[in-house]
Structure 1
């Protein structure tokens, strides 16, 4: 079977696609990825050994703008291009992960009578996946509460497809000796002490200016309780307060193998993208989440179950301040409290959805 997998923009879309593509390839299927030349997929897809078919970036504007008026022509061009790919490459199914790359792939598949399978990462579905679900043979959900169904096909809660490296780390973290080995190796890489608590701060693959600035402003307070590995995002080192970096506060712009950063994290301070939430739950790492305040509110909903269970602490973007770091995050840096939260996450049973999504693709044929 030949599958066209559509994902682009951020790691939140691309990583689940790569995890599912790996699972499909292991079963003997051929996967061609479609994305843009400017999104993270341009780097991650070739690095994973997959062929990337590039298309132009086509924003799906939520409000009236110049992009809205240019949308029909851009969309038609991309759809016509992809229709040719579906025919020329004898594609048997289109698997979309949402975002601006998936919409033209769904439309091309419909016009060529190629089955569509949708994977929705977020608790609140995006525009492209709502479109694809209208004629999808299968819809795979990360969260049970997501209000999206295949109109005339199968809908299944699969969980989020996780990279093989994350699944391997999850297994290692459940074994005391392997967990300690992973921690020591990663701590040495980042210049930290594995015998002291470590907070990982990350705004995701693109970084988050408010998290970067606010947390670094409270760096001295945090450092009296724990070490910090702060992943700022590419080009975001200027967000960091002057005088922050030191022996106990390490700064890096980007980590391509985030499993190594996770291996030393006792607590994570981050946004609440679906990929991040699912990875932390599977790894059993407690978090403080500061959901992105724009969009359709899906980030808070992604983390709501973990927040409600007491595994995650929620601080709104507007309320995230140096004082909030002192009052809400410092008290969490207690071994017993972090262990309690880890046990909640591990008991939730969140695992790797790649195999389940691959099953749905096969069953939809």
Structure 2
């Protein structure tokens, strides 16, 4: 069976698609991805060995704008292109992960009368997936609190499809000997002592600056309690407070294999994108989450179950200051507290959703 998988723009959309595609290919199906020539998918999809069909980027404006006036023409063109792909390549199912690439794929599938399967990463569903759910045959949810369902089909809470490297690390972390070996190797790579606590700070791209400035401003106090790997984001190294970088506080601008960073992390300070939240929960790594105060509030909602359970500590963006780092994060850095929070996350039984989403795809035929 040939499947068209729509995901583009961010790693939060593309990585779950790649994880599910790997499952489907292993089951004997062919997956063709649809994305844009400029998004992250243009690099990640070919690197994963998948064919990428590109369409123009079509923003879905939330308010009146020039883009809203241009939307009908752009959308019609993309839908027409994808209808041709569906017919020419004998596509049997469209699998969408949200974002601006998915909306035209859902519409094309409807016009060609083939099933749609949706995977929603966030606790609050996006516009494209809300549209597609009106005729989807199956909807996969990462979080049970998400208010989205297939109007005429199956809706299941599957968890987020995790990158294979994360699934392997999750298994390794459950084995004490393998966990120690991976921690030692990662710590050696980044120049840390594996026998001391290690904090990882990462704000992504658009959300990095506030985390960079506030956390590093407290760096001189933090290093008395833990070592720090601070992933600043490209072009944001200047955000780091002067004089803090040293043997116990190291910075890198970007890491391609975050699973190696996770392998040594005792605590992660981060935003609350769905992918990050799901990966940390699956790995049972305690976190301090500082949700971005933009969009429709989905970042806080993504992390809410783990916050309320006690695995994550929430600090609002406006409250994330150097004083908050000293007053609220340093007290977490005891073996007892970190272990307690890790056990809470491990007990939640967060699963890898890739196989479950693949089951949904096969089930709609």
Tell me how far apart the structure 2 counterparts of residues 233 and 173 of structure 1 sit (CA, whole Å).
Answer: 27
CA RMSD of aligned residues (A): 1.1
Match of 2:49 in 1: 49
Q: What do the CA deviations read for 1:77-100 (whole angstroms, capped 9, x no partner)? A: 111111111111111100000011
**Would the aligned equivalents of 1:6 and 1:97 in 2 still touch at CA under 8 Å?**
yes
Change (3 A) 1:168 1:132: same
Map 1:88-127; keep pairs closer than 5 Å.
Answer: 88-127=88-127
Tell me how far apart the structure 2 counterparts of residues 159 and 25 of structure 1 sit (CA, whole Å).
Answer: 20
Find the residue that maps to 1:318 and give its secondary structure: helix
Tell me how far apart the structure 2 counterparts of residues 47 and 291 of structure 1 sit (CA, whole Å).
Answer: 30
Tell me how far apart the structure 2 counterparts of residues 266 and 84 of structure 1 sit (CA, whole Å).
Answer: 50
State whether structure 2 residue 32 is matched by structure 1 residue 32: yes
**Would the aligned equivalents of 2:207 and 2:271 in 1 still touch at CA under 8 Å?**
no
Q: What do the CA deviations read for 1:215-258 (whole angstroms, capped 9, x no partner)? A: 11111111111111111222222322233322111111111111
Match of 1:7 in 2: 7
Tell me how far apart the structure 2 counterparts of residues 268 and 277 of structure 1 sit (CA, whole Å).
Answer: 11
Match of 2:66 in 1: 66
State whether structure 2 residue 202 is matched by structure 1 residue 202: yes
Map 1:174-185; keep pairs closer than 5 Å.
Answer: 174-185=174-185
Tell me how far apart the structure 1 counterparts of residues 219 and 38 of structure 2 sit (CA, whole Å).
Answer: 33
Match of 2:87 in 1: 87
Tell me how far apart the structure 1 counterparts of residues 244 and 9 of structure 2 sit (CA, whole Å).
Answer: 30
Tell me how far apart the structure 2 counterparts of residues 239 and 6 of structure 1 sit (CA, whole Å).
Answer: 35
Match of 1:173 in 2: 173
Tell me how far apart the structure 1 counterparts of residues 206 and 95 of structure 2 sit (CA, whole Å).
Answer: 24
Tell me how far apart the structure 1 counterparts of residues 296 and 196 of structure 2 sit (CA, whole Å).
Answer: 39
**Would the aligned equivalents of 1:206 and 1:234 in 2 still touch at CA under 8 Å?**
no
State whether structure 2 residue 187 is matched by structure 1 residue 187: yes
Map 1:1-365; keep pairs closer than 5 Å.
Answer: 1-204=1-204, 207-365=207-365
Instruction: Figure out how many residues of one structure are paired with residues of the other and give that number.
Output: 365
Q: What do the CA deviations read for 1:320-345 (whole angstroms, capped 9, x no partner)? A: 11111111111101111000000000
TM-score normalised over the length of structure 1: 0.98
TM-score normalised over the length of structure 2: 0.98
Give the stretch that moved more between structures: 286-295 or 70-79: 70-79
Kindly state the Cα deviation for residue 55 of structure 1 after the two structures are TM-superposed. 1.4
Kindly state the Cα deviation for residue 308 of structure 1 after the two structures are TM-superposed. 0.5
Find the residue that maps to 1:313 and give its secondary structure: strand
**Would the aligned equivalents of 2:223 and 2:248 in 1 still touch at CA under 8 Å?**
yes
